[in-house]
Amino acid sequence: MTIAIVGGTGPEGSGLALRWAQAGETIIIGSRDAQRALETASKISEKVGTDKKLSGTENRFACSDAEIVVLTVPFAAHAETLKHIKPSLRAGQILVDTTVPLAASVGGKPTRTLGVWQGSAAQQAAEFVPDGVTVVAAFHHLAADLLQQQGPIDCDVIVCSDDKNAGKRVRELARKIPGVRALDGGRLENARIVEQITAVLIGLNIRHKGQSGLRITGLPDEAFKN
């Protein structure tokens, strides 16, 4: 499986790339600047200890070779990036949207969110992608700093999608990150709540100097297995 990380030079994108490269996935780091993408790919290769499965290129090129495209850009660049990569997207691909519409995108607080016309960043993404590309919302609550470090991450990933099969594939991808459990969060429309939880976690981080995440309790083990 080849995974393109659009905005892969940022802290969240490069953190996910590191974890998935460590798990043996083939990763293409995408960036607006191909040179920076290559540099990030090279840095991650050093950490992982092999350069066979990591490459870096411009965002649009990164998308054309991938089965799964993971979007990890700030919300301010969300629509613009989607328009830019759209010609490289094709039916059958999964676009994983990790974006949170923080008010910080427009100079506001990172503990507040913007109202997105479509309901959520992920639903905005769904409006941009070509027919046949499935949008899945996930990975909103994993602290970038923790992804960059070694060791398991004490956080669950809630995955929202209108396509059950695509959701399942992304949950399997989430479980490749040590410590992470993945849950079916239902339809893509639920991303409008799941995305916003990040703003609460950011507030807790500011108040308590932490790198907060969340665990869901009270569900049977099977909920974390399919």
Say how many C-beta atoms besides its own lie within 10 A of residue 151's C-beta. Answer: 8
Among 75, 99, 185, 188, binds a copy of itself (CB under 8 A): 185
Q: For a copy of itself, which residue of 42, 61, 103, 186 counts as binding (CB under 8 A)?
A: 186
Residue 130 DSSP label = P
Looking at 88, 98, 111, 124, which residue binds a copy of itself (CB under 8 A)?
111
Q: What is the DSSP letter of 178?
A: T
Q: Return the range that interacts with a copy of itself (CB under 8 A); candidates 41-49, 84-92, 111-119, 126-134.
A: 111-119
Q: Are 88 and 115 a contacting pair, CB within 8 Å?
A: no
Binding residues for a copy of itself, rule CB under 8 A, total 40
Closer to a copy of itself by Cβ: residue 129 or 159: 159
Q: How many residues does the chain have?
A: 226
Gap between the Cα atoms of 96 and 161, Å rounded: 9
* Positive or negative: CA dihedral 139, 144, 146, 149: positive
Out of 63, 180, 183, 188, the only residue in the binding site for a copy of itself (CB under 8 A) is 183
Pairing relation of β-strands 26-31 and 54-58? parallel
Least gap, CB of 91 to a copy of itself (angstroms)? 28
Minimum distance, C-beta of residue 34 to a copy of itself, in the bound complex (Å): 34
Q: How are beta strands 68-71 and 181-184 bridged, if at all?
A: unpaired
Pairing of strands 156-161, 134-137: antiparallel
107 binding a copy of itself? (CB under 8 A): no
* Residue choice 40, 113, 120, 134 for contact with a copy of itself (CB under 8 A): 113
Shortest approach of a copy of itself to residue 96 CB, angstroms? 18
Cβ nearer to a copy of itself, comparing 57 with 111: 111
Residue (of 8, 31, 32, 37) closest to 20 by Cα position: 8
Residue with smaller CB distance to a copy of itself, 52 or 215: 215
Q: Should residue 177 be labelled a site residue for a copy of itself when binding is judged by CB under 8 A?
A: no
Per CB under 8 A, 158 contacts a copy of itself:
yes
Angle at 215 between CA 148 and CA 173, to 5 degrees: 55
Contact track, a copy of itself, 193-212, x by CB under 8 A: xx-xx-xxx-xxx-xxxxxx
